[in-house]
Structure 1
Amino acid sequence: MIKLPIRWWSMRIKTLILLGLSLCSLWAAPQEVQDVEVLAQTVTKNGTLVHAVGNVVLYSPKYLITADEAYYDYESGDVELFGNITTLEGVDYASRSGHTKLNLNTDKGVSTPLFFFEEKSNLWIKCENAILNPDTYITQKSIVSSCNTQDPDWKIAFTTGEFNKESKWLHIYNPVFYANDIPVFYLPYFSFSTDTTRRTGLLPPQIGIGGSEGFYYLQPIYFAPAENWDLEVRPQIRTERGEGIHSTYRFVDSPYSSGQITAGYFKEQSDYAKEEELSNDAHYGVRVSYDRSALLSTKYSGIEDGLWVDINYLNDIDYYNTIDADSSTSDKLVTSRVNYYVKKDEDYLGIYAKNYIDTSKESNDDTLQELPTLQYHHFSNPFLLDNLFYSVDYKAKNYTRQEGVTAFQNEVRTPVSLYFSVLEDYLHVNVSENVYMTQVSYGNDSDEGSSGEYFNNYHTFSLYTDLSKGYDTFFHTMYMGVEHTVPSYDKQSGAWSYTYANNELIPLEFEEKNTALKFRQFFYDMDGEKKFSHTIKQAYYYDREDEYGDLENDMKYYLTDRFYVGNTVNYSNTFHQLSRNQVSLTYKDSIYTGAMRYTYVDKSYEHNNEGKDYSYVTFSAETRYFENIDLFATVNYDIEEDIFKSWSMGIKKFKKCWDYSLVYKDVTNPKQTSSGVDSTNKKGVMLMFTLYPMGSMNYKLFEQESEQRL
């Protein structure tokens, strides 16, 4: 049995070079053979047969071979090697053998025994005998692994195998997988690629065992016929649930644009669909995304434009939960967007479209869509005076649906501002006159009037100071300002009483008389790194019953380059309670990583009560305190619904040639049933391991499933 460490090969190459320069006695093959040379301590020749003994070195354009003894027929190209044979084939492959026969003209031969090493993947194969071909090695009674050659952590023993040096694909028959020396499981056939370059072939599969869905196998098939596009097809099977196929087409059509199209279909088994009371026994969907940072600007100078497309369609929420083993979502609303803008000098034109699919509904005929919105904006510019500025913003919005009232809205905003400073630029003054106009035309059998108009004019007065000062160890900037808003003229006519989802279909934007105080400050260290930021705002409303609006306070502490703390608080002066509170903590260094965010919003303090309170906690932590071991945990908890949307904890062990994870997961996913959108809670223990370069597999050691009502 031959046992060699992986690093042995690089040392061997250096030895071969030095050996060729320091041999005591050298002999070269006859001059008529130009592509093969033999070097050795002792050489004899009998006709066309060369016999070399002692530190034999044979090299050709393809091979560099060392051995204890060699016979080489330079007429036929046959070479027979004995003892400590090392063969280097190009820069990728190396092998070690005790006895080898090889024809240098045909690259065919046999080797007994053989140790083969593929450098890029660190994969090695050890076998009793091998058949050598120009493009393949065929081995028998073999072992393959990428771990240390002595006592590998994992290995696969197989009866027959074939490694293709061109495609870098290994096919093995009757493999038995071992953890150390313990057999784990058997397969009649297995294959994988050792190539990590972008090329057509099979990608590492996803394999899962256990749980209510049975055995899970997903095999990605990758096609890369050109540099600017590729296609990935992912068929899958879940033995106790169903089968499906998903695919992703990715493309780059210019230096500044790219996109992808993903589509999929999953068919449930009838027994599973009936037992789970699913509303559909098939789930399908498609997503088209495209991002282009330059469109017309490639042909016309002086303009900037961009296009962003994200179109989603699915028949139910379970489509997301069947894409792969880890895919899931808790959002019942699916949004599609198309945005385009073009900008030149001071002018901006944008076209936007939004389409919504509410998966909790059987039909989306009454779901309000925004198709499209047109925006024109003229940026702030001087007008008549150098310190008199104006801007214009116009929007046309089309709210449409098949059932229910529709609307088309025109909006115009035209602020005009006069700016000047006093007290040697310590005090800045801004006086603004603002005009807001909107007109709405209703359609689709509206019965309370066909249109509505609204006009609003208000004045804004601002006084503020913006100061900065450097100290010995830090730099401080501070902003203090007061803004006073006074409504001037307000007129409303026509119909405005239509509602949608407990809100006004077209909500009016009333400006109330108020005075707002704002304070903002930043601290920087001497390297210019932000250390602390603080913003506080308080508004007073003259005509409200609750005169004092929420006190808004936002603070961010950059305690170190590793630790960040943020807190945003809104305090209701009317109810003497917090109406919004968000706390976030983030820490990261080479050993520890942690993040926590808590968000609370009380809807009762808002003027348009849209629903229940929102209270949510997310948490994640990870440590690599122990060498090659990763401990981690995640939590997503909805406090108001008293539901863990998901949480997990586990351990991951890293090795050079493999890693494994033991994870406990508790996940709640929505599913569409005949009675609406319910949810399924799955909890269990999963063992996942990755063998490099083969791929990953998972096994559900334990799983418990229960139904929940959303």
Structure 2
Amino acid sequence: MQIRYFLAMSLFPTLVLADNTTAAPSSGSICIIEPNLPRQIPTSPSSAIQDPSEITITSNDSQAQLGQKAIFNGDVSFIQGARRIAADEAIVDQQQQSLSANGNLVFSDDSFIVTADSLVAQMRSNTATLQRTNYWLKGQQAHGTAGTLEITKENNLILSQATITTCPDPKPDWVLEANKIKINSSEEWGEIWGAKLKIADIPVFYLPYMTIPVSNKRKSGFLFPSFSSSTRNGLEFTVPYYWNIAPEYDLTVTPSYMSNRGLYTKSEFRYLTGSDSSPQTGQLNLEYLGNDQYETNNSDRYLYHWQQQGSIGQNWRMMANYTDVSDDNYFNDLRSDISTSTNNQLIRVGEASYLEENWDLTTTVQDIKVLGESDQPYQVMPQLDFNYRAPDVLTGLDFDLFSEATQFKDQNSGNYSSATRVHLEPSLSYPIQGPAGSLTTEVKLLQTNYSQQDNTDSALSDSVSRTLPEARVSGQINFERYTSYFNQNYRQTLTPQFQYLYVGYQDQSDIGLYDTAELQNDYYGLFRDRRYSGLDRIADANQMTVGVTTKLFNTQNREIFKFSLGQIMYFQDSQVISEYSNTTNTTTSSSTLASDISAQLYNDWFINGSVQYNTQNNSNTKNEVSLDYRPAPNKLLQVSYRYVPNLVNTNTGVTSDISQTGFRAAWPITDSISLVGNWYYDLSEKQTVETYTGFQYDTCCWAVRVTYHDRIKTSYSNDTSSAYFQSGVYLNFIINGLGGSTTSSSSSSSGSSTSGSLEASSMLKNGLFNYRSPIYLNN
């Protein structure tokens, strides 16, 4: 029997356990918790026309009196849109406008499934009450019980004598019990009275009152605390507080008490302004540790940081980033939210750009502070860039103009300005492109003027005008064939390429070095038209670069092999390079022979490497190679080696060779146990650079991680740096589902971390040599 009748019932809001994020399983171990239902959830009849304002009722037997009561017995099902109710018996009282159901009752929605002993719904007031319920949130591990589940006429939800957990039944490892939970659907937040956390059925935490958000809507309140311990900081206890000031503003204050240092307070203010079409986002961070007890002079430590980016209208782009710290060792000693202990450069930059289709204008100011060094780079105060593009300006010719005006300030001498540089770079290019290859001819005029009256170096000229012509012809040919290797079919490409480059010469020894450094000579660097970054040195050139790249693609069009080999032939030596490196001219007919290779050797075995070989004196100038075994995303075995000769220490000026080998492993032993290990050894110094091991046990509802670090660190004092080793053992215990979806991170300096999902891939990022695919040990 089918009866259509209007039923107004409220929806169960999606329960959220922590700040700003819906409760979700840990990314480590994911458990599928199946509801224990006394009966099947009813499905819609194929002939039914689903109207959200109507309800379809089916049953084995029914008794109905018009305008009075309708009684349904035997496999009763109610269907209204996405809502499903199944019970042994149901009564619809048309006079009282009520619905009651009992007997193996199941209530289902898009968001949740509930079993209950009984349900009573008042249709006039849009209220409903379910007794002795069990609920499961769909798509999540969260589930629990409630003695009474009440839906009010304001669409609020009240649970009495309720529990919630992310652990599977029947005996969850942890459970949160509450006397009462009230969910306000309009405010999208909940209140919990008498919250008690039990682990292994033992009460460990009690709060008489707490609030939680029940959507992505933010709410002010304390976040979950964290505990840690390390040799330098001692015992550390952290209790963050989140203040939802307005929809566009919020503030997080994180006080941490460290038994060896004192009270360390961090705050982060975030804001979002502007319109949807022109948003402006930014944040302000302040960190302060007063009277650091670990330091001999009990100094005050602080950091402040501001960053902003966004657009104004369709054409303007704005960006700013500024950071400063109290001392050079700040990142080494403290767990900052802004940087890491391996970063010794603070880049302060402000930029405003105006963009049009064929041109753009950018104004930039920049200051770089190098921690641990007395000599600081020049400040850019300011720099103005203008770029103009006119494609196909005349019968296939493209015209481009790059121009720059920059004023440099010397931070070391204290002068207002050290130099002003104006650069104009017009170019004409004629590109020819097609499936078979490409050929581009380009000519440039490099005009640069310097004003260096304020520079204190007497060897530099007060005024310099440098005019250099440049001509470049580059092209490539694309070959392709189908072939087979080892009984496998492949598509092979062969791409020979060349570049002829001519750049005129002018003596540049009377120009200061303001933003210039030598670029790396890898394979792709062979085809650049510059030897140096910046504009203070433009090397003369009369050279030809030749190279070839071959690739193999399998039948799924996936690249499994790539090899590149190239070299520059010099028709004459560069005089600027000799002047820059303070060496006499020597006859050099060719550059280093540079090669890159990346290949899938067999199934899950991969090799990546690069070699730079000096064919003049038969010596290696740089080698990097790694062999990976990657059978799954969280499984990795890697052996690597790196060799760089004649590397100059910028602090001491001492030249030394780097010859390092390393081993890295990340492997899940079982579904719940994972191991991670790093070991790097310096063959030149004959000492271990870093040892890092991690053990993790991760279940559906809790996880534990133990890590050991022994790594080299740098300490700065009196404009000098010294290296020392620091070791420590760190322990993290996480209850999945109670900390939200935060990131687990560990700082080598403090050994502390925040709660959140733990997995082997996150542990791979904690070493000194972070895992970056494919081969680079560090930058």
TM-score by length of 2: 0.67
Aligned to 1:331: 343
The answer to whether 1:216 aligns with 2:244 is: no
SS in 2 for 1:276: coil
Aligned to 1:411: 423
User: Following TM superposition, by how much is the alpha carbon of 1:662 offset from its aligned partner in structure 2, in angstroms?
Assistant: 3.8
CA contact (8 A) 1:629 1:652 kept: yes
Q: Which among 621, 627, 651 is matched to residue 696 of structure 2?
A: 651
1:600–1:660 CA distance, 2 compared to 1 (3 A)? same
Q: Which among 521, 534, 548 is matched to residue 549 of structure 2?
A: 521
1:704–1:280 CA distance, 2 compared to 1 (3 A)? closer
User: Following TM superposition, by how much is the alpha carbon of 1:568 offset from its aligned partner in structure 2, in angstroms?
Assistant: 2.4
Aligned to 2:60: 23
Aligned to 1:318: 330
Q: Which among 396, 400, 412 is matched to residue 405 of structure 2?
A: 396
SS in 1 for 2:346: strand
CA contact (8 A) 1:682 1:704 kept: no
The answer to whether 1:150 aligns with 2:150 is: no
1:357–1:23 CA distance, 2 compared to 1 (3 A)? same
CA contact (8 A) 2:42 2:77 kept: no
Q: Which amino acid aligns with 1:411?
A: H
Please give the alpha-carbon distance, in whole angstroms, between the structure 1 residues aligned to 2:598 and 2:218: 47
1:660–1:636 CA distance, 2 compared to 1 (3 A)? same
1:671–1:57 CA distance, 2 compared to 1 (3 A)? farther
RMSD of aligned alpha carbons: 5.5
Between 598-607 and 559-568, report the one with greater CA deviation: 598-607
The answer to whether 1:509 aligns with 2:528 is: no
1:257–1:100 CA distance, 2 compared to 1 (3 A)? closer
1:24–1:418 CA distance, 2 compared to 1 (3 A)? closer
CA contact (8 A) 1:194 1:694 kept: no
Please give the alpha-carbon distance, in whole angstroms, between the structure 2 residues aligned to 1:90 and 1:389: 61
Q: Which among 528, 533, 536 is matched to residue 563 of structure 2?
A: 533
Q: Which amino acid aligns with 2:169?
A: T
1:29–1:57 CA distance, 2 compared to 1 (3 A)? farther
Q: Which among 39, 52, 76 is matched to residue 71 of structure 2?
A: 39
SS in 1 for 2:421: strand
Please give the alpha-carbon distance, in whole angstroms, between the structure 2 residues aligned to 1:266 and 1:205: 20
Aligned to 1:567: 609
User: Following TM superposition, by how much is the alpha carbon of 1:335 offset from its aligned partner in structure 2, in angstroms?
Assistant: 0.6
Q: Which among 337, 356, 369 is matched to residue 379 of structure 2?
A: 369
The answer to whether 1:246 aligns with 2:287 is: no
Q: Which among 139, 148, 161 is matched to residue 160 of structure 2?
A: 139
TM-score by length of 1: 0.72
User: Following TM superposition, by how much is the alpha carbon of 1:413 offset from its aligned partner in structure 2, in angstroms?
Assistant: 4.0
CA contact (8 A) 2:116 2:132 kept: yes
* Paired-residue identity, %: 11
User: Following TM superposition, by how much is the alpha carbon of 1:337 offset from its aligned partner in structure 2, in angstroms?
Assistant: 2.8
Q: Which amino acid aligns with 1:663?
A: T
User: Following TM superposition, by how much is the alpha carbon of 1:124 offset from its aligned partner in structure 2, in angstroms?
Assistant: 3.2
Aligned to 2:736: 691
CA contact (8 A) 1:682 1:705 kept: no
Q: Which amino acid aligns with 1:23?
A: N
CA contact (8 A) 1:263 1:284 kept: no
Please give the alpha-carbon distance, in whole angstroms, between the structure 1 residues aligned to 2:517 and 2:624: 26
Q: Which has the larger radius of gyration?
A: 1
CA contact (8 A) 1:111 1:132 kept: yes
Aligned to 1:265: 286
**Number of equivalenced pairs:** 658
Q: Which amino acid aligns with 1:22?
A: S
Please give the alpha-carbon distance, in whole angstroms, between the structure 2 residues aligned to 1:486 and 1:699: 52
Q: Which among 595, 602, 605 is matched to residue 554 of structure 1?
A: 595
User: Following TM superposition, by how much is the alpha carbon of 1:350 offset from its aligned partner in structure 2, in angstroms?
Assistant: 3.7
Please give the alpha-carbon distance, in whole angstroms, between the structure 2 residues aligned to 1:499 and 1:217: 44
User: Following TM superposition, by how much is the alpha carbon of 1:21 offset from its aligned partner in structure 2, in angstroms?
Assistant: 1.5
User: Following TM superposition, by how much is the alpha carbon of 1:401 offset from its aligned partner in structure 2, in angstroms?
Assistant: 4.0
1:400–1:670 CA distance, 2 compared to 1 (3 A)? same
Please give the alpha-carbon distance, in whole angstroms, between the structure 1 residues aligned to 2:279 and 2:496: 42
1:204–1:645 CA distance, 2 compared to 1 (3 A)? farther
Q: Provide, for residues 444-497 of structure 1, a one-character-per-residue CA deviation record: whole Å limited to 9, x for no partner.
A: 76666661415354675758663524344424233253636474x63569x546
1:109–1:429 CA distance, 2 compared to 1 (3 A)? closer
Please give the alpha-carbon distance, in whole angstroms, between the structure 2 residues aligned to 1:90 and 1:203: 32
Question: What aligned pairs does 1:651-690 form with structure 2 within 5 A after superposition?
Answer: 651-655=696-700, 657-666=701-710, 681-690=726-735
Q: Provide, for residues 673-698 of structure 1, a one-character-per-residue CA deviation record: whole Å limited to 9, x for no partner.
A: 79987778352132332422554899
Q: Which amino acid aligns with 1:399?
A: F
Q: Which among 179, 191, 198 is matched to residue 160 of structure 1?
A: 179
Aligned to 1:48: none
Aligned to 1:632: 676
Please give the alpha-carbon distance, in whole angstroms, between the structure 1 residues aligned to 2:349 and 2:149: 58
SS in 1 for 2:293: helix
SS in 1 for 2:270: strand
Please give the alpha-carbon distance, in whole angstroms, between the structure 2 residues aligned to 1:340 and 1:513: 35
Please give the alpha-carbon distance, in whole angstroms, between the structure 1 residues aligned to 2:472 and 2:446: 15
Question: What aligned pairs does 1:121-136 form with structure 2 within 5 A after superposition?
Answer: 121-126=140-145, 129-130=147-148, 132=150, 134=152, 135-136=156-157
Q: Provide, for residues 233-282 of structure 1, a one-character-per-residue CA deviation record: whole Å limited to 9, x for no partner.
A: 24333352314242242537455665532333344364xx1323477424
Please give the alpha-carbon distance, in whole angstroms, between the structure 2 residues aligned to 1:429 and 1:266: 53
CA contact (8 A) 2:548 2:566 kept: yes
Q: Provide, for residues 591-627 of structure 1, a one-character-per-residue CA deviation record: whole Å limited to 9, x for no partner.
A: 5544676554334599999765584778754345733
1:73–1:295 CA distance, 2 compared to 1 (3 A)? closer
CA contact (8 A) 1:318 1:671 kept: no
The answer to whether 1:583 aligns with 2:602 is: no
CA contact (8 A) 2:421 2:448 kept: no
The answer to whether 1:622 aligns with 2:666 is: yes
Please give the alpha-carbon distance, in whole angstroms, between the structure 1 residues aligned to 2:651 and 2:710: 35
The answer to whether 1:453 aligns with 2:485 is: no
Please give the alpha-carbon distance, in whole angstroms, between the structure 2 residues aligned to 1:319 and 1:659: 28
1:144–1:437 CA distance, 2 compared to 1 (3 A)? closer
Unpaired runs of at least 5, structure 2: 1-32, 47-55, 484-489, 519-531, 576-584, 752-779
Please give the alpha-carbon distance, in whole angstroms, between the structure 1 residues aligned to 2:547 and 2:657: 28
Please give the alpha-carbon distance, in whole angstroms, between the structure 1 residues aligned to 2:537 and 2:471: 16
Please give the alpha-carbon distance, in whole angstroms, between the structure 2 residues aligned to 1:613 and 1:11: 75
1:477–1:283 CA distance, 2 compared to 1 (3 A)? same
Unpaired runs of at least 5, structure 1: 32-36, 42-53, 298-304
Please give the alpha-carbon distance, in whole angstroms, between the structure 1 residues aligned to 2:381 and 2:304: 21
The answer to whether 1:276 aligns with 2:308 is: no
Please give the alpha-carbon distance, in whole angstroms, between the structure 2 residues aligned to 1:626 and 1:331: 36
SS in 2 for 1:14: coil
1:336–1:522 CA distance, 2 compared to 1 (3 A)? farther
Please give the alpha-carbon distance, in whole angstroms, between the structure 2 residues aligned to 1:94 and 1:497: 73
The answer to whether 1:355 aligns with 2:355 is: no
Question: What aligned pairs does 1:419-498 form with structure 2 within 5 A after superposition?
Answer: 435-443=446-454, 451-455=462-466, 457=468, 466-472=477-483, 473-481=490-498, 483=500, 485=502, 487=504, 490=506, 495-496=510-511
| Structure with a larger share of its residues in strand | 1
User: Following TM superposition, by how much is the alpha carbon of 1:508 offset from its aligned partner in structure 2, in angstroms?
Assistant: 4.7
Please give the alpha-carbon distance, in whole angstroms, between the structure 2 residues aligned to 1:666 and 1:580: 27
